[in-house]
Each structure stands twice: as C-alpha cells, then as structure tokens.
Chains A and B, each alone.
Chain A
C-alpha cells in the first residue's frame, strides 16, 4: 500500500511538474497584464510539435532540439504579446478575453495544418528504469522531474535576484509606481510573455516525451493550469508550485487506486473541496 502510494507520488510529480510550468507562465502573465491567456496551452504545444519535428524530420539530437524550441518559444511569446494582446491593452477586459479565445483556435488550427491530427510522441531513447526498493522510476520521468525543478528554481532566482525580475514584480504589484522607478512598462510584458512561453514549451516537450501531443491536449492543459492557479492562490508563485504538484499527485493516486477514467473528476473534486475550506486557495491571501 505504502509502496503503491510512493509509486504514484513519483508518477504524479512528473505530471505535476508539467502543471507547475504551465501555471507559472499563466500566473506571471496574469499578474502583469491581468489577462487570462487561454492560448498558452496551444502555443506551448506548438513548441512540443517543433521539438518533434526537429528530432524526427531534421535528425537533430534531443539536447540541441530542446534549446532551439525554447528559444523559438520565447520569440513566439514576444510575437503573441506584440501582435495579439498589445493592441487591446487599453480596451475592455472582454476584448483581451476574445483575443485569447481566437488565438487559441488559430494556434490549434496552425498546429493541425503543420503537424496533422495524428498524435506524436517525441522519441527520447531514454528507456532505462531505475528500481529503488519496490518503486520503479523510469529514467525519463526522473529527468522530467529534475528539469521541472531546475526550471522553477531558475525562474525564482530570476524574479527574486535580478533587476529585471524585480521590475516584473514591481509592475505586477503597482504599475504606476513601477513607472516612477523608471521601469519601461512596454518592454516588461514582452519579457514576461517570452519567458512564460518558453516555460510552456518546456512543459509541451515534457508532455510530448512522457505521453503524446495531439490536437486538444493544449486546451486541456490550460484549463488545468488555471485550476492550479485557483488551487494555489491567484498571483502566488509558491501557490502555483504547490498547486501544480498537488494536482499532479492527486490525479496520479486517483488513477492508480480508483480508475484512470475518473482521474480528472477526482482531481477536480479534491480541488473544489480545498476551495470550499480555503476560498483564497492554498497559499493565497485572504481577501
């Protein structure tokens, strides 16, 4: 029983890492611009598809394809901010919302045209399985967990320790005061979108390597990402990290002990119960 729980926890950490990376991007964008960036999942999957393309069609080694896809993700994020969201920045919030939905459909459509409707799996060649006591840890899952942790730590260091990171926080906390400090509030959203999308692409690659990328996966992921934000507490970085991990582990345990068909149902039931007890989310501030 205990072994089984530990086993599912390890499995849950890998998918939890994916949720955390998606949620961190969403929370940063939301904090800076107040935009619910629904296209985030689909844009992230484009990065996953790109990695697949670079590895299979171009024959690039995985370790070269990943940085290329992350860089492409950064640029894509910058473009999304400039072309899609910037024009509606001063308009009613519903406009940005409509743009987000339209962008989701567009990106999904482009993914479909470029990469087809068949699901694709990014070949990694990482097939070893480690055994630790009674727990089996596939090599790939372990690397996914480590990569997710490294990315989260890098992001935290960037936000807490660098001037640009602090400027991002300042804009999120008080935009006018940030201007008075000399922060250029036109370039900050570009950096935020670039960074968030690169993190999303990392999540997309993980999904493509662990499971498969297919049409609709990105949309499902973004719903989970927002669920994580609410679960952890809107606007809270540690909340997004905790929320994503909790959701991943809950799903995994639900799938292992009850039924994988009900894992989403159970995960969302747990989320609703948490929110009934703590409406502000696990680490959110009480209003």
Chain B
C-alpha cells in the first residue's frame, strides 16, 4: 500500500534521513522505533508532505506522491496524527473534529462525528469547549479522533505517547489497539519501543537516519541488541 524507497530528507542542507526504504501493506500495523533524532519523525513528515524529500521516492497505492503537496496527500488517503497533538487551540472540540473531515463531501460526516464521540465519551462531554483547554491526554484523544474523521486509508501516528503520564499512555495504546482491530492500516512512530512492539505486526529499527533492523515485531522484541538498547533489559 505504502512503499518508501531510498528516502532522503534534509534540513537546511544537513541530511537527517539517509536512504530509508520501508513498506506498509493494507491492514498492517507497522512501527518505527529507535532513539530520539534517529529520523523516524522526519520520515513520517516526508510521507505526508510536511517536509520535502531530497531524494528517493514515496509510492502510495501505485501513485507516486513524492512531490505531491500536503493537502493532495490527505486527499489520496494518508492522514497523520502529529507529534504534540497540534489541536486547533481556540476552536471547540467539535470544530476540531469537523476540520478532520475537511476533505470529505459525503453525507456520513455527522454519523462519524457521533461515532467518534461514542468512542471517546470525554470528547462528547467537552464538545463545545476550546480544544486548548483540554488536558494532554484528552488532546491526544481529540487528535486521534480528528485524524480518523478523514476516513484515511492509512493513518500515521507520530509519538502519540510523548509527554503523557504512564496511565494515559496505556489508554492511548488501548485506543490504538482498538483502531487496529477495526482494520485500519497504521504506521506508528514511537519512542516507547516496548509498547510499540507489543502493538505492531512488523517494525523497523532506526539508528542515525538509517534502518538497521527490520522484521516481525515479536522477533525484534526478543532480539538481544534491541532488548539491551531499547527495552531496558
């Protein structure tokens, strides 16, 4: 479904992603793990067009989207739930959710809206509050629900657990597991490697802008190098 080939990303002439290739098949949940600054988030940002690729190609369902602009990529079916939530702080919860459906013209948006609020009851409770007034965990739920409102074909999650209390992190991952069970294709970037490997089908390990290991999540979880470096064993 998603095929990234030899992707390179540079910021101001300094290359941070040095030729990354990865695949995500329909219905799969794939995790990108590795240390801070390893190039995981930059890879995601290049896929959804927030930063330009300086080399390589990104294919999505037989289409080349390497040079496509951000809004065209969303219309193609790729949505990202960004790092740090990035809700629209002065807009209400419900306005944030409606923005999620910005590219849609179908008549099922209101039904999806109430489905999201069934899935996240706190959002129904707070629907007319400004999103900026929600707690970090609630904002994460809003960002996830907003991403799903686009009815994406693949959903990218960038560090969904970042800056959240351990209890909230657990509930975020429960939510992700639920979304996965619904059949959503997921590409997840996460520093909490243990949680990510428990959720994912497959994973890629990033180090200094390169993929150094890839395989089934359960194999990576039991690999001695991964255990030592990232799982704290």
Contact = CB atoms under 8 A, between A and B. Distances in A.
Interface of A: 163, 166-167, 169-170, 173-174, 176-186
A179 B91 CA distance: 16
Given A166-B98, A185-B71, A180 B48 contact: yes
Q: Is the interface of A mostly helix, strand, loop or mixed?
A: helix
A184 B91 CA distance: 19
A163 B102 contact: yes
A174 B102 CA distance: 15
Interface centre among B48, B79, B86, B99 (most CB of A within 10 A): B99
Given A174-B86, A176-B82, A176-B86, A181 B100 contact: yes
Given A170-B91, A183-B102, 10 more contacts: A174-B89, A176-B82, A179-B49, A180-B147, A181-B100, A181-B102, A181-B146, A182-B74, A182-B102, A183-B71
A169 B79 CA distance: 20
Contacts of B49: 179
Chain B interface extent, by class: 20 to 34
B88 interface: yes
B20 interface: no
B87 A182 contact: no
A167 B100 CA distance: 10
Given A174-B86, A177-B87, A166 B99 contact: yes
A180 B86 contact: yes
Interface in B4-46: none
Interface string B71-94: 100110001101000111111000
Contacts of A185: 70-71
Given A181-B150, A182-B71, A182-B150, A169 B88 contact: yes
Contacts of A186: 69
A281 B70 CA distance: 36
B50 to A, nearest CB: 6
Given A170-B91, A173-B88, A173-B91, A179 B102 contact: no
Contacts of A167: 99, 102
